Structure 1
Amino acid sequence: MKPLQRLLAAALLAGLAGTAQAQFGDLLRQLPIPGAGNILNTPAAPGGAAAAGDLLQMLAQSVDNIDEPREIEIGRQLAAVLLGSKPLHSDANLQRYVNRLGRWLSLQSERPHLPWTFGVLDDAGFNAFAAPGGYIFVTKGLVDRVDEAELAGILAHEITHVTARHHLKALAAKARSGIATQLIASQVRSNIVGNAISAQMLALGRDLYTSGLDRADEHDADRQGVTLAARAGFDPYGLPSVLQQLRTAAPDNPLFTLTLSTHPPAQQRLEVLEAAMGNRLDALSGKPSVPIATRLRAR
């Protein structure tokens, strides 16, 4: 694996640097946090950068100890884990489209004020990821296999993980179990993020994204995600349509392996959603399918 500093610099350059790559503009250029700098040097809380070890200690005690600035800082560290695994896709038009779609959905959520940031990872797999504080990524392989309503349903599902603080709760459980100490005993910090990323946090993040969230959290994100997508004006059956794809995906298909292994069985998710939705959202369904390629050509 490449050094974290080089990975972050390359992955985040699009949204932060004043170079030709600034065409990514609103992708990772941050909505301002009062008193904060950019993503590379923002303190976790007023008064200076909080050590990742301190954040882990607070998580182990209680998620209630994590205020919003610290939540955003943890999200930035986990976003570094994701961007360290796969780079952002080079299609600026696609990045803008997904970012605008995601931000429109986030405005309908319970926490519209978060510095919501959306991006497409250059990966052929069918995956989506969220991190605390409003960082959400989908893979190019996923975007290529869905239409706009389906993508909206996926993003709404991930937005719900953020608004409900599902990842923070999962990290807290891992921190309390001592898994961080088991994964790595010493902290190694990188100057690229103001000495705020530790090897422990990186190890916890990797473990979280390979093991997945609690099944109850996934079902909750499905139910609330459908409602959020409908509230934003999209067909509420977009997410169930995606689950139908997953239901028929071969378990040994490497493009779907991670998604299938970190989520409840798609058939179970469909059954839980059907029981929750009934026919209450049928009046909002039946809208024409809009291919993402059509939206991109129109820009």
Structure 2
Amino acid sequence: MRLTTLVTSILLSSATLLAGCSANPVSGENQLSLMSEAEEIQTGQQAHREILAKTPPYQNAAIQAYVNRIGQLMAAQSHRNNLQFTFTVLDDPAVNAFALPGGYIYITTGLMAYLNSEAELAGVLGHEIGHVAARHNVSQASWGVVGGIVTSVLSEKLGNKDLIGTLGELGLSNYSRNQELDADGLGAEYLARAGYDPANMANVIATLQAYDQFKGGSSDPYRDLFSTHPNNDLRLQQLIGQARRYGTGTRDAGHETYLQQIEGLRLPLGNGQTVQVRLLTARPGDTFDNLARSSRLSNNPAMHLRVLNGLFPNGEPRPGQLLKTIQ
């Protein structure tokens, strides 16, 4: 009798799961979704308010407008361009970008400092738009709900909450490897549709890898997806190759445009102090070793400047090259 009750309860939970399946907006395949689009948007709105209460937006109208313009360009290429996407630059030194359900996309000032072109910014935003387009975060939340239902059933019937308790957490973990690769592929596709070279998706990942290597490792599983340089990763290159069907990059990457937009970007240094991103033009004979002497970077500043300028691990500036430094 006890076993019959247990099986019945689990079957009811399974019925809830099956009833909550809907077509993925990108692939058309069935995907677990216990949240309607209206509920998704409402959830995102509430979470957006909570995010801004904890981490304020960066107080620079020009940078916010610039990121929003590039974000809206990318969102218009997406499989869910009916959504009203919201793009926010957060005043946070962490190197990060993320998305909430309903089209709320965030990028930190910390990450913006390490990007080196408008196309790379578009790639970051395109990746996060891809998560929203494929409803990855909705699927995660749905698995969390179903996991909670099954956890409750098993805990009640078997009485072993410690053993079963981790099941409900599975839906709340980081994106899966497949979801991250899907978002990379969608980001590359949206880059191509917007006129950028989709190879900039690999540039973004290379930048994150360089930052992690400089800092001594990453706690982000996404960045560990690529055991080699992104240009040598077969999976990513296949995705970029597929994206070229939509365009090969007629739009300028916007290296100097991007750097000029972020000049003066403030980053907290701690103890109430801040530093700023400043630009300089390399002169003949300049090296990162001598440029580092005038920066406010303290930990291996020459190597840090290489990371900032996309020349990690052993690049040197070219005469006339526009560079970032920290003052």
The TM-score with structure 2 as length reference comes to: 0.57
Q: Note the C-alpha offset of 1:167.
A: 0.2
Counterpart of 1:274, as a letter, is Q
1:266 aligns with one of 213, 226, 229: 226
Matched length: 214
- Corresponding residue for residue 294 of structure 1: 260
Q: Is contact 2:58–2:89 with CA below 8 Å preserved after alignment?
A: yes
- Corresponding residue for residue 92 of structure 1: 61
Q: Distance in 1 between matches of 2:174 and 2:250?
A: 30
SS at match of 2:255: coil
Q: Note the C-alpha offset of 1:268.
A: 6.4
From the CA coordinates, give the structure whose radius of gyration is larger: 2
Identity of aligned residues (%): 34
- Corresponding residue for residue 138 of structure 1: 107
SS at match of 2:114: coil
Cα deviation, 1:142-187, whole Å, max 9, x if unaligned, reads 11111210010010111011011000101111121129999xxxxx
SS at match of 2:56: coil
Gaps of 5+ in 2: 1-15, 21-31, 153-168, 264-327
Counterpart of 2:249, as a letter, is L
Q: Distance in 2 between matches of 1:295 and 1:174?
A: 40
1:7-26 paired onto structure 2 within 5 Å = none
Q: Does 1:174 align with 2:136?
A: no
Q: Is contact 1:59–1:171 with CA below 8 Å preserved after alignment?
A: no
Counterpart of 1:66, as a letter, is M
Change (3 A) 1:103 1:166: same
Q: Distance in 2 between matches of 1:279 and 1:68?
A: 29
* Higher-RCO chain (CA-CA 8 Å, sequence separation at least 6): 1
- Corresponding residue for residue 45 of structure 1: none
SS at match of 1:266: coil
Q: Distance in 1 between matches of 2:206 and 2:175?
A: 21
Q: Note the C-alpha offset of 1:261.
A: 3.7
Gaps of 5+ in 1: 1-57, 183-203
Cα deviation, 1:120-158, whole Å, max 9, x if unaligned, reads 011111110101111000000111111210010010111
- Corresponding residue for residue 121 of structure 1: 90
- Corresponding residue for residue 247 of structure 1: 209
Q: CA RMSD in A?
A: 3.3
- Corresponding residue for residue 25 of structure 1: none
Counterpart of 2:77, as a letter, is Q
Q: Distance in 2 between matches of 1:95 and 1:273?
A: 30
Q: Which has the higher strand share?
A: 2
Q: Is contact 2:195–2:250 with CA below 8 Å preserved after alignment?
A: no
- Corresponding residue for residue 107 of structure 1: 76
Change (3 A) 1:269 1:226: farther
Q: Does 1:214 align with 2:179?
A: no
Q: Is contact 1:247–1:265 with CA below 8 Å preserved after alignment?
A: no
1:64-79 paired onto structure 2 within 5 Å = 64-79=33-48
